[in-house]
Amino acid sequence: MIEAGATAPDFTLPDQDGKEVSLSDFRGQTVVLVFYPADFSPVCTDQLSVYQEVLPQFTERNAQLLGISVDGAFCHRAFKQHMNLDIPLLADFHPKGDAARKYGVWSEEHGVAGRALVVVDAEGVVTWAYQSPPLEVPGANLIFDALDQRTPA
Domain residue ranges of the chain, discontinuous segments joined by +? 12-150
Give yes or no for a contact between 9 and 100, defined as CB atoms under 8 angstroms apart. no
- Asked whether residue 152 carries a pLDDT value surpassing 90, the answer given is no
Catalytic residue among 8, 34, 44, 89: 44
The CA R_g of the chain, rounded to the nearest whole Å, is 14
Distance, CA of 99 to CA of 41 (rounded, Å): 20
| 44 catalytic per annotation | yes
pLDDT of residue 153: 38
Confidence of residue 147 (pLDDT cuts 50, 70, 90): very high
The amino acid at residue 68 is: I
Confidence of residue 150 (pLDDT cuts 50, 70, 90): low
What confidence tens digit (pLDDT) does each residue in 44-92 have?
Answer: 999 999 999 999 999 999 999 999 999 999 999 999 999 999 999 999 9
What confidence tens digit (pLDDT) does each residue in 112-132 have?
Answer: 999 999 999 999 999 999 999
Strand-pairing partners, residue 15, are 90
| Cα dihedral 24/98/51/6 (nearest 10) | -60
**Predicted structure pTM score:** 0.95
Q: What CATH superfamily classification does 12-150 receive?
A: Glutaredoxin (3.40.30.10)
